[in-house]
Protein backbone atom coordinates (compact mmCIF):
# COMPACT_ATOMS: atom_id res chain seq x y z
CA UNK A 1 0.00 0.00 0.00
CA UNK A 2 1.33 3.44 -0.92
CA UNK A 3 2.16 6.15 1.58
CA UNK A 4 -0.69 8.44 2.70
CA UNK A 5 1.19 11.45 1.24
CA UNK A 6 1.34 9.70 -2.15
CA UNK A 7 -2.37 8.88 -1.97
CA UNK A 8 -3.23 12.47 -1.15
CA UNK A 9 -1.04 13.77 -3.97
CA UNK A 10 -2.73 11.39 -6.36
CA UNK A 11 -6.15 12.57 -5.19
CA UNK A 12 -5.10 16.24 -5.59
CA UNK A 13 -3.77 15.60 -9.11
CA UNK A 14 -7.03 13.88 -9.99
CA UNK A 15 -9.14 16.73 -8.66
CA UNK A 16 -6.94 19.18 -10.55
CA UNK A 17 -7.44 17.32 -13.83
CA UNK A 18 -11.15 16.82 -13.40
CA UNK A 19 -12.01 20.28 -12.09
CA UNK A 20 -14.93 21.31 -9.91
CA UNK A 21 -16.21 18.11 -8.39
CA UNK A 22 -19.29 19.02 -6.43
CA UNK A 23 -18.66 18.18 -2.82
CA UNK A 24 -14.88 17.71 -3.11
CA UNK A 25 -12.96 19.79 -0.55
CA UNK A 26 -9.76 19.62 -2.62
CA UNK A 27 -11.51 20.68 -5.84
CA UNK A 28 -13.07 23.63 -4.01
CA UNK A 29 -9.70 24.71 -2.64
CA UNK A 30 -8.08 24.47 -6.07
CA UNK A 31 -10.92 26.46 -7.62
CA UNK A 32 -10.29 29.35 -5.22
CA UNK A 33 -6.98 30.07 -6.93
CA UNK A 34 -3.36 30.64 -6.08
CA UNK A 35 -3.75 33.52 -3.61
CA UNK A 36 -6.35 31.69 -1.53
CA UNK A 37 -4.28 28.49 -1.51
CA UNK A 38 -1.31 30.47 -0.20
CA UNK A 39 -3.52 32.19 2.37
CA UNK A 40 -4.83 28.84 3.56
CA UNK A 41 -1.30 27.52 4.02
CA UNK A 42 -0.44 30.62 6.04
CA UNK A 43 -3.49 30.14 8.25
CA UNK A 44 -2.66 26.51 8.92
CA UNK A 45 0.89 27.51 9.83
CA UNK A 46 -0.44 30.08 12.31
CA UNK A 47 -2.55 27.37 13.92
CA UNK A 48 0.46 25.04 14.05
CA UNK A 49 2.54 27.76 15.73
CA UNK A 50 -0.20 28.37 18.30
CA UNK A 51 -0.63 24.67 19.11
CA UNK A 52 3.14 24.36 19.60
CA UNK A 53 3.36 27.38 21.89
CA UNK A 54 0.28 26.25 23.83
CA UNK A 55 2.00 22.85 24.25
CA UNK A 56 -1.08 21.01 23.02
CA UNK A 57 0.36 17.89 21.33
CA UNK A 58 -2.97 16.57 20.04
CA UNK A 59 -3.71 19.93 18.44
CA UNK A 60 -0.13 20.13 17.13
CA UNK A 61 -0.48 16.82 15.28
CA UNK A 62 -3.87 17.87 13.91
CA UNK A 63 -2.57 21.25 12.72
CA UNK A 64 0.58 19.68 11.27
CA UNK A 65 -1.72 17.34 9.30
CA UNK A 66 -3.69 20.35 8.02
CA UNK A 67 -0.47 22.18 7.19
CA UNK A 68 0.96 19.26 5.21
CA UNK A 69 -2.32 18.61 3.42
CA UNK A 70 -2.55 22.23 2.28
CA UNK A 71 1.14 22.27 1.36
CA UNK A 72 0.45 19.30 -0.95
CA UNK A 73 -2.46 21.21 -2.51
CA UNK A 74 -0.34 24.36 -2.94
CA UNK A 75 2.43 22.33 -4.59
CA UNK A 76 0.02 20.28 -6.69
CA UNK A 77 -1.68 23.41 -7.98
CA UNK A 78 1.64 24.41 -9.55
CA UNK A 79 2.45 20.93 -10.84
CA UNK A 80 4.99 20.36 -8.08
CA UNK A 81 5.13 17.43 -5.68
CA UNK A 82 6.58 16.23 -2.43
CA UNK A 83 9.25 14.46 -4.50
CA UNK A 84 10.54 17.87 -5.58
CA UNK A 85 10.80 18.79 -1.91
CA UNK A 86 12.46 15.47 -1.12
CA UNK A 87 15.00 16.05 -3.90
CA UNK A 88 15.81 19.48 -2.50
CA UNK A 89 16.26 18.07 1.02
CA UNK A 90 18.49 15.31 -0.38
CA UNK A 91 20.55 17.87 -2.26
CA UNK A 92 21.11 19.76 0.98
CA UNK A 93 21.84 16.53 2.82
CA UNK A 94 24.57 15.92 0.28
CA UNK A 95 25.99 19.41 0.79
CA UNK A 96 25.76 18.93 4.52
CA UNK A 97 27.54 15.60 4.19
CA UNK A 98 30.33 17.37 2.35
CA UNK A 99 30.34 20.07 5.02
CA UNK A 100 30.51 17.41 7.68
CA UNK A 101 33.54 15.86 6.05
CA UNK A 102 35.05 19.36 6.14
CA UNK A 103 34.48 19.45 9.89
CA UNK A 104 30.97 20.84 10.22
CA UNK A 105 27.77 19.02 11.13
CA UNK A 106 24.07 19.24 10.18
* Closer by beta carbon to a second copy, 3 or else 17: 3
If phi > 0 it is left, if psi is from -120 to 50 it is alpha, else beta; for residue 104 that is: beta
Near a second copy by CB under 8 A: residue from 10, 19, 31, 78 = 78
Asked if 30 interacts with a second copy (CB under 8 A), we say no
Asked if 43 interacts with a second copy (CB under 8 A), we say yes
If one counts every other C-beta atom within 10 angstroms of the C-beta of residue 28, the result is 13
Near a second copy by CB under 8 A: residue from 20, 42, 95, 98 = 42
Near a second copy by CB under 8 A: residue from 9, 30, 67, 76 = 67
By the 8 A CB rule, do 63 and 51 touch? yes
Asked if 37 interacts with a second copy (CB under 8 A), we say yes
| Residue 11 exposed, middle or buried by CB count within 10 Å (0-12, 13-18, 19+) | middle
Asked if 16 interacts with a second copy (CB under 8 A), we say no
Amino acid sequence: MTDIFARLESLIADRKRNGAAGESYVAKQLARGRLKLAEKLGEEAVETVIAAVAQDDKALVGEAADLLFHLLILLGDRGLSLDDVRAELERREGLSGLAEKAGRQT
